[in-house]
Structure 1
């Protein structure tokens, strides 16, 4: 059904309801405002119903690879307990607030690096939560699982290209636990194809990694230098076991 037909249908329903002066039974509709058409009439003009935005956001979550359950990982729920963790949270909030000004520049990315258990993934997903709730697509890329999956299907050229394009062309790409585990030449080749594409096309990345920026540069300078430039001014490196919240409470 086209927009015009939908609007007419809603208008007719509204007039009929007014004549009857009784509420419409909504038991068979998910949304009582639009009766599942996703359109409502406001000042004689058709407008998208709020349910449309909610459904669209849910679909973005499903496509992103970030589960709905991870919505509890927010900036508010991240409680800093040191100078480094406070700076990491503030940097994430600043990045989100200034995203529109940064997104089309060379320095449009952010990296949370260093100490295990310091909440780097939490902050990365907090950014994804905020972007997805603003209907800005984020694709989640868990490094180890993604590398394993792509390498298992590397001989299937069509699948390989589609897999790469998913991460190359995402509006925002979240790479979680970059360089986690034993890294092979194949891992580096795949990462170069993804990072280089995004570097050339100035497409943002959010990175979490246990590696520091010097370690990332040593792993592969071509990849590392691109990441360094893209994240310039937004590289947060957390150091010291005192910033591992998993053992912090046990040692106090």
Structure 2
């Protein structure tokens, strides 16, 4: 015993066994384990650019819970940031790569008056967080960039954002129309999420007169989503479309009326000089 005490005194710098810390309870032991795990750094931010101070980019938080038998154990729980990361991944898969780094207001170059107007309106909306926001018309004018920049600001504040690329999501919903459970599973999140971004609304092809020609099913889906959100004004809705205001109204006046009553709306007339994707093209 004298040898053991001497070793402990030397190792722990204690005068006697009475100075040893008391044995930890099971709860205390599990909390120490949880704290040690929660203090470690993860690397999810390397994939999506989003940094979370709560889980330190692990995506998981360890919590201590007591079982029915009275024992204490650690349980792994998803961090709230995983919902945000899911939205970011959806937007990345749609072609919006590195949205946290690339689709910012500072990277939207505004030199023309119309660009300055759009940018300032988008920035104001991202700060005020009221009503809806709509940009329609000319392709390549930066509509998606600005709408995504708004979503980026909301995501960085921890707000739940759902991204709907119309041409990808609408066909899936239409295919599920005869399956009530699956249909609701697709529609309910779109109707009820705090922030919904519909990208390329009614992007379904062109008619003979070079106008968007959505089907009756497309119109029904859009009306169901937007009417629900119209009747719940605390829900924020962002819409980009190649359709102008007049196009939307001609497609369905009830949908157009709801959008343009709620939204800060901008409509760009067809003008290829506004298509930044064509800048630098040399005709020979």
**Fold conserved (TM > 0.5)?**
yes
What's the RMSD between the two structures over aligned residues? Answer: 2.7
For structure 2, list consecutive stretches of 5 or more residues without a partner in the other structure: 1-26, 42-51, 60-79, 206-212
From 135, 139, 151, the counterpart of 1:128: 151
Matches within 5 A, 1:6-45: 9=32, 34-35=39-40
Residue 183 of structure 1 deviates from its aligned partner by 0.7
SS at structure 2 position matched to 1:225: helix
Whole-angstrom CA distance in 1 between matches of 2:35 and 2:151: 41
Shift in CA distance, 62/8, structure 1 to aligned 2, threshold 3 Å: closer
Which protein has greater RCO, CA pairs closer than 8 Å, 6+ apart?
1
Q: CA deviation at 1:61?
A: 2.6
Measured in 2, the distance between the counterparts of 1:178 and 1:74 equals: 22
1:198 equivalenced with 2:232 (yes/no): no
Q: Could you tell me how far 1:236 is from its partner in structure 2?
A: 1.9
> For 1:135-154, what aligned pairs fall within 5 Å after superposition?
135-154=158-177
Q: Name the residue aligned to 2:91.
A: 66
Distance of 1:112 and 1:128 partners within structure 2: 14
**How many equivalent pairs are there?**
211
Partner of 1:167: 190
Matched with 2:247 is 215
Please report how far the alpha carbon of residue 70 of structure 1 lies from its aligned counterpart in structure 2 after TM superposition.
Answer: 2.1
Separation (CA, whole Å) in 1 of partners of 2:35 and 2:54? 21
SS where residue 66 of structure 1 aligns? helix
Deviation at 1:77, TM superposition (A): 1.1
The structure that is helix-richer by fraction is 1
Task: State the shift of 1:83 in Å.
Answer: 1.4
Q: CA 1:12/1:115 → structure 2, altered by over 3 Å: closer, same or farther?
A: closer
51-60 or 221-230, which moves further after superposition?
A: 51-60
Residues 141-182 of structure 1, C-alpha deviations (whole Å, 9 max, x = no match): 111111111112222110001111010001110000011124
Structure 2 CA distance, aligned partners of 1:50 and 1:130?
Answer: 16
The alpha-carbon distance between structure 1 residues 51 and 82, as it changes in their structure 2 partners (threshold 3 A), is: same
SS of the equivalent of 2:55 reads helix
Q: Which residue of 1 aligns with 2:260?
A: 228
Choose 1 or 2 for highest CA Rg. 2
The answer for the alignment partner of 1:94 in structure 2 is 124
Q: Is the 8 A contact 1:57 1:133 kept in 2?
A: no
